[in-house]
Every structure is written in C-alpha cells, then in structure tokens.
Structure 1
C-alpha cells in the first residue's frame, strides 16, 4: 500500500517514515513540504494513504485535505498535528484518523490496527528491555493470564496487557471466543472434538487441542 507524507518539517516527515517501517506492506512513495507539491505528487503517484500536517505555510492541511477528498473519495487522510483540538475540524472532511505530535509507536500501532485490522495490524510486546511486534494475523491463541493476556504465535509466545475483550472487539474477523478465558484464530480451526462431555478445538499449527466451553461448542458447531 502506497503512502505519502506531507509536512513542512523534514524531521517530522522522517519520523513518520521511520515508525511506519514496522509495517512491511506500506511503501513510502514520496514526501512533500507544502500543499501545492503534495497535490502534484498525489496526482502522479496515486497513494492510497496520505499523512498530512495541519499547520503548514500557504495551503494548510485542512484545505489540502478538501482538495484531495474532492479528487479521490477513497483516499485515506491521516492528519498529524501538535494540537489535538484540530482533530474535530479534520474529521469534518472525513479524515480516516489523526496523530498527535510527537508521534510514537503506540499511536501508529493503534491507528493501523483501526484502519487495517486484517492486513497491517500489529501488537507490541516486550522482551527484557526490547520492544517487539507480532502481526495480529499470526496469533493463534490468546488466553487470560492473571492481569495480562498470553498470546501464542508461530515461533513463540508473549504477555501483553491488551484484554481479551478488546482483542475480540478490535479484530472480530480474526478471533473467535472458545472459552471464557480463551480466543483462537478462526482461520486456523481444523476440527471440533467432543468426548464424554469434554469439547476441544483442533488448530492448525498447534500441537494440543484447545478446550472449548459448552456454549462456545454449540456456536462453533453450527459454523464449522
């Protein structure tokens, strides 16, 4: 997916590009320091996503956004501003989202999870002092673990502080609840097993079947 960065500050443009490097499917096709240059680049490069500063000399981000929206109703506009109160004005021209300077990993991750839950979504976790990321589509199982959520993915596992309820709400096409404390990847379900009142689900890529509650089993049985 192609994107363009528009900001009169070179440091701000570089920061956005650096933070977006985590998302392999995104490709920066250009950058502009003012509205007029941005219009020309959008016309020639046809990006699907534009990150634009609101406060710029000459044509500001709001005016630029209106022109971009008039020329392509499908283009996604992400406003970047140091003033959160500008967000309402941005949404009045159908902005897809906004980021508040200084932009950080958390803001970028939440935005991508909201805009592209099935393709670009990532979750952050920590190993020692290192921050790492996992693609949401790679998560096979998530289970409540005391105050945290234990996620299992191909090649490892990790603890995150995102509750199961939020994972299920944010990524309904990816996860299905199989127990009060467990959700699994829908696309990985191979079969359902039932023996003497005990129910389990078999997942592709997972050695052991996962326990399923009676209520969830009835619901899953009607689908799988």
Structure 2
C-alpha cells in the first residue's frame, strides 16, 4: 500500500485554515493529523512525544502573539524529518523563509 503523507496546519485565520485542509485532503489526498489556530497549541502538540509526527507542516508565519519562525525552530527540533511549508502574504517573510532553507 502506498504511503499517505500526513500533515498538520498551523494557521490563525479559520477560513484559510479550513480551505487549505480541504485542498490538501481532496486534491492531494494527504492525511490530516491535526490543525492549530495558534502557536502555543501547535508547540504543545509538537513537544509531546506521544503525538504522531507529521511528514509535512504547513506553517503561517504571521500569527497574533507569536512568530512562526520561533515555532519553526521547535518544529525542526521535534520533527526532524518533517518538511515545513510556510504560508504568508508578506514578501519579507518569504525571503526570510529561504534563509531558513524551507519550502513554500
């Protein structure tokens, strides 16, 4: 049986989070593990070793109260093999993302 890639979504805007999940599930056939509307909940999920490790992490960089780049460091620490795809409407964050050697 073919491996179905798993993922989590970290996005504070509910409509964008729901649209991304629908696209990833229906068009790409990916398997959602969980989604988070804030960095704190996502960090707690990633830090818990009992939780499944995603293959992909879709990460919004601009969130209230936290930098997605701080969460990116945690994601790399807790999910060594996961690929991180940043989602942002801000060009400066996209450029900074390349400095972190991430996709998106």
TM-score range, shorter chain: 0.7 to 0.9
Deviations 1:60-100 (CA, angstroms, capped at 9, x unpaired): 211100111122332111000011231121122221x11xx
Cα distance in 2, alignment partners of residues 19 and 57 from structure 1:
24
Give the alignment of 1:145-160 within 5 angstroms. none
Greater Rg over alpha carbons, structure: 1
Match of residue 28 from structure 2 = 23
Match of residue 88 from structure 2 = 81
1:71 aligns to 2:75 (yes or no): no
* Structure 1 position 46, deviation (Å): 1.3
Q: Which has the higher strand share?
A: 1
Match of residue 98 from structure 2 = 91
Give the alignment of 1:186-197 within 5 angstroms. none
Deviations 1:97-133 (CA, angstroms, capped at 9, x unpaired): 11xxxxxxxxxxxxxxxxxxxxxxxxxxxxxxxxxxx
Q: Which has the higher helix share?
A: 2
Helix, strand or coil at the partner of 1:50: strand
Count matched residues: 96
Give the alignment of 1:198-209 within 5 angstroms. none
In structure 2, list runs of 5 or more residues that go unmatched: none
The answer to whether the 8 Å contact 1:35/1:64 transfers is: yes
RMSD: 1.4
- Where do 4+ consecutive residues of structure 1 move more than 6 Å? none
Higher relative contact order (CA 8 A, sep 6+): 2
Give the alignment of 1:80-159 within 5 angstroms. 80-95=87-102, 97-98=103-104
Match of residue 54 from structure 2 = 47
* Structure 1 position 40, deviation (Å): 2.3
Q: Structure 2-normalised TM-score? A: 0.82
